[in-house]
Structure 1
């Protein structure tokens, strides 16, 4: 009887096999739809980790429940929680400040926006969506989950936040279709651009939209006329009482803003003077004036404060992982922090991927412990070039001049030319 009770105590909080299978096999609706965004906002970070037990305690569990427990451990290890980091907090503070100010403006016709820049696997989308989800929770609570601008008798969905992925081949029409697709609003293929823009404006107003996230904005290229029109359309949306939040890779280098330089001291992007400033006295372009650019950085390992922040992050991951032979300091003791920094360069996404694969390998091999020898067997491909420890890589951005190819001049027909008496005499 005592042994049976110990089983119950050890597995307290472990779902049934049917529930575990449901969690593993269930699919998530696309985030760029209203249903998908609400699913993300409701369930993000809600997974309860598996109970933490030792290898000896695991051996006491009935064999049928061991399989269930191991399945739930795999699910736990594959879903590392989003932790508070200085980089994540910096983005969140800016978004909260901008949304707080914009939603309280009454007379300003244009709402300034935010651009979040960073390299691949830096956690741009996760940070932005987490901050937007917090804003939506607060906004809904403020208005008792009712749209304060709705008309009596209507049943429009209240959607304070809209998440849209920038179309791969962006045109003003395709961007409008993506925004309307978030609400699953019907569109006519024969609709003109002004009609689509008006429909988008009506949808944003009717649904009470206050913030619109446009992810993967780096798909735009300013040498294409359609992409320039898309940027103009985005600026037009800023006059609809909506705060635009754009995320992308190397935003300063793709032409959305003037070619920027990275200041090592202030750790901010700085815009060089425009050539037009000398002639027209213009200080900044419309896009620069309407957006604030924030850089999402990676972990650093130089100063004691930076080292401690990285170690704290590793400790949070260590507490979440479920390995039978795990011990305190598995990720934070000895030379492990330096090893992980060297392998991942401090990039949040790469660090998570390495440790998730390491946990899976530790379970599959029966080692049930993560160490350097185990991680050495895991191949981790860096998505970006090696970066110096004090500044991000800024790839050179060169504008390609469009030149007309000179046409090859056809030789003149000389059959009927008169070459004079000498030539005629020679020919005879």
Structure 2
């Protein structure tokens, strides 16, 4: 079993943290019960009466705690449903992941689980015999105060997430971190070019196929493990997918080349290092993270919402992310082992592809709104200004499609003047010779 794959599934599941808190609550019950028995038996006469709690008082305390936590949990789940409904109808269904996977949300439910189980088990163990408790009731009071604090925190957290600007900012921050993580230095070697003579020996007609075992989206690829596996079996792998692609069961997942005098006994082993799921996630998929902002922008310029300011805000954040992406982007295609031998070939997404996927839907649905088109051109201008000629060529190629999408003949004088100003800035930044004219 692939431990890395199991850990990713556990870590990203909604019930992971609440389960950890529940286990900790059971341990807390055992520890406090043992301390109570030891302290009461040894130091009962030296403990102030203020800290000694009778069984009847403890029973009332535990019962009230259970009821209160159930009430707060009910309100919290109702709040979660309100947030999810708002996200689905006004922002994008893809943004649900950001709220549900928020550590604040999971920690709050975890603390509630801790308090509920701790109080319920103590209530069960209390019994009907009269006695005195010390640590357990005192700890229950502390837990109840912590639960109240987390409940207030959750209400504040939910209200902040309902504000679209906060959501956009959170997505931009997480995507920026993902870009930095994707192109940071790895513990394995990579290259953008390789010896053509060696590559020519990899005849595609002689490649063996490793099919996908299930249908779904490519969510995570463990490149280091694939390199090690390929080295252990002395072969070269080539992927037939891009990150975030939907792949059908039994379609080629990998191609591989191996010496003719040896056979690969279990080629399906390497599929364990590729996580395939029912939806796209943003652990390695930069395009999907940017797509969330695109969908919020497209939803904002729809006739049902008609909020071009939010769309422009999204466009500005997308432009900022593309600037950062262009500054660190490398078309990494070849993955090498410690012996400087090629082990894995993976087709990278080009920067032109990222640029196109970031703005083409906004162009389709927002071409009639000149403020949105001006925002796109301004973002393209900033990307071109901050990067080299190769990026400028990609920006200009896409910029022409934005310019052509706007019906300049239908613009009034002031709108045309503003739009033409943005076009001239982009032309200058890309070092091109172009003049916008009305027919």
TM-score strictly above 0.5: no
TM-score by length of 1: 0.23
Higher relative contact order (CA 8 A, sep 6+): 1
Q: Normalized against structure 2, the TM-score is what? A: 0.22
